């Protein structure tokens, strides 16, 4: 049995809107790979993330990820950049070992999931033990005493970590914290500081800085466009307006396609309501969604993958800004090749 069903509606959507737009070769710079048995049984002491992603997939093996691309993009060659997805209590070493093993086995470039409480020597030793392309950091690994709303970038991507990464000229995949998202001034200041103090770090702002809604942008793209080495991925967003602002500000050489698999298997149409994103999903498919205010069920429409919606939105933004064929190939492949030396 296939990993998931592809419906006629999906096939038609792909054929009509995406197939010709997408280049033959694609690099997906943002994917999570893990096995559920590596997850801790013990719950996190504090919950600092949204809950809906866990409704989409219990895990995502490297094989599942490859099958996902075969099902969704049957005529394309997709290479993912892989990293794990770990919480405070998970066995990070086992999860990173699985990523290294999958990377070596299938030729997928990989990022080390890095904890802020490792010593510099520890991080350096891990980075030197495998050809990692960089590190992935996450806000849930910040010291436990910091309330979610107060977490700053330097709490989980510390100056000590940046020194080690800069020395090796590697990448950092950064999902920024804070309720203000991209427009948050603390985020903007710390991103600027990283670009200036550690110019050798290849910093990637994931999810366009979590600017999922128009009101999340503020003037941050205008401010940050001056940081010429800063890269952006548009993983897990289907906001064409925000993508358009980004293309106009930084151009097609600094934007990369990323998905955030496996959660982009979600069937949804995302809307914005009072400055908040809501995933409209088919009724009954994802269990009880009532506790998550970012989820809402609907019975009267057909749904396709969030993955397709994301690319459809980028296509609209690319058309609005007049991107060329070569620009689109840069975004979906060449920029990542250059950044990760592939
Ligand atoms: Zn992610």
CATH number, domain containing residue 18: 3.20.20.140
Q: Provide the phi-psi class of 336: left if phi over 0, else alpha when psi is between -120 and 50, else beta.
A: alpha
Report how far ligand 1's centroid is from the alpha carbon of 134 (Å).
Answer: 15
Nearest by Cα to 294 from 319, 316, 325, 263: 263
* Percent residues over pLDDT 70 in the chain: 99
pLDDT exceeds 90 at position 155: yes
* Ligand 1 center–CA 175 separation, angstroms: 7
- The tokens describing 291, both together, are 């506790």
Q: How many domains does the chain have?
A: 1
pLDDT score of 238 more than 70: yes
| Ion ligand 1 — residues with CB < 5 Å | 260
Q: Residue 283 falls within a domain, yes or no?
A: no
CA of 147 to the centre of ligand 1 (A): 21
Looking at residue 40, what is its pLDDT?
81
Distance 277 CA to ligand 1 centre (A): 17
| Least trusted range by pLDDT, from 56-60, 73-77, 103-107, 322-326 | 56-60
Q: Is residue 14 part of a domain?
A: yes
Q: How far is the CA of 20 from the centre of ligand 1 (A)?
A: 27
Give residue 45's pLDDT band: very low, low, confident or very high (50, 70, 90).
low
CA of 85 to the centre of ligand 1 (A): 8
Helix (H, G, I), strand (E, B) or coil at 233: strand
pLDDT at 54: 83
At residue 47, the pLDDT reads 73
Q: Is 29 part of any domain? A: yes
Whether residue 272 lies inside any domain: the answer is no
284 inside domain: no
Distance 207 CA to ligand 1 centre (A): 8
What's the gap in Å between 248 CA and the centre of ligand 1?
A: 24
**Torsion of Cα atoms, 140 then 144 then 145 then 151, to 10°:** -20
Question: Can you give the pLDDT at residue 48?
Answer: 72
- Is residue 299 in some structural domain? no
Least reliable range by pLDDT among 128-132, 159-163, 270-274: 270-274
- The answer to the question of residue 286 being in a domain is no
User: Ligand 1 centre and the CA of 99: distance in Å?
Assistant: 15
Distance 80 CA to ligand 1 centre (A): 13
- Residue 221 CA to ligand 1 center (angstroms) comes to 20
Q: How far does the centroid of ligand 1 lie from the alpha carbon of residue 290, in Å?
A: 23
Residue 236 vs residues 159, 165, 192, 200, 258: alpha-carbon distances, Å: 28, 26, 24, 27, 8
Specify the range with the lowest mean pLDDT, choosing from 117-131, 197-211, 287-301: 287-301
287 is a domain residue? no
Q: Provide the pLDDT for residue 44.
A: 67
Q: What is the pTM of this model?
A: 0.96
* Owning domain of residue 204: 8-266+308-339
Measured in angstroms, how far is the CA atom of residue 30 from the centroid of ligand 1?
6
């Amino acid at each position: 049995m296939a990993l998931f069903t592809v419906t006629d509606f999906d096939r038609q959507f792909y054929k009509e809107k995406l197939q010709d737009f997408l280049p033959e070769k694609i690099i997906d710079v943002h994917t999570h790979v893990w096995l559920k048995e590596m997850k801790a049984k013990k719950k996190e002491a504090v919950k600092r993330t949204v809950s809906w992603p866990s409704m989409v997939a219990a895990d995502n093996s490297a094989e599942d990820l490859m099958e996902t691309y075969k099902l969704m993009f049957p005529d394309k060659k997709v290479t993912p950049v892989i990293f794990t997805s770990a919480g405070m209590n998970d066995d990070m070493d086992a999860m990173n070992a699985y990523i290294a093993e999958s990377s070596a086995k299938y030729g997928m470039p990989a990022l080390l999931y890095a904890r802020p409480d490792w010593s510099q020597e520890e991080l350096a030793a891990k980075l030197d033990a495998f050809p990692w392309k960089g590190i992935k950091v996450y806000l849930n690994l910040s010291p436990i005493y910091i309330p979610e709303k107060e977490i700053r970038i330097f709490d989980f991507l510390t100056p000590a970590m940046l020194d080690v990464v800069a020395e090796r000229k590697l990448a950092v995949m950064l999902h920024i914290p804070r309720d203000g998202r991209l427009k948050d001034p603390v985020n903007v200041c710390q991103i600027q500081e990283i670009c200036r103090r550690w110019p050798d770090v290849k910093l990637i702002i994931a999810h366009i800085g979590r600017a999922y809604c128009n009101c999340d942008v503020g003037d941050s793209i205008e401010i940050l466009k001056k940081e010429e080495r800063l890269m952006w991925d548009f993983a897990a967003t289907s906001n064409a307006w925000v993508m358009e602002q980004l293309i106009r500000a930084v151009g097609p050489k600094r934007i990369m396609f990323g998905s955030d698999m496996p959660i982009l298997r979600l069937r949804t149409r995302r809307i914005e309501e009072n400055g908040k994103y809501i995933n409209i999903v088919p009724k009954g498919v994802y269990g009880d969604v009532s506790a998550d205010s970012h989820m809402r069920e609907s019975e009267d429409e057909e749904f396709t993958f969030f993955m397709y919606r994301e690319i459809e939105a980028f296509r609209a933004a690319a058309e609005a800004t007049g991107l060329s064929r070569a620009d689109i190939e840069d975004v979906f492949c060449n920029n990542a090749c250059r950044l990760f030396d592939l």
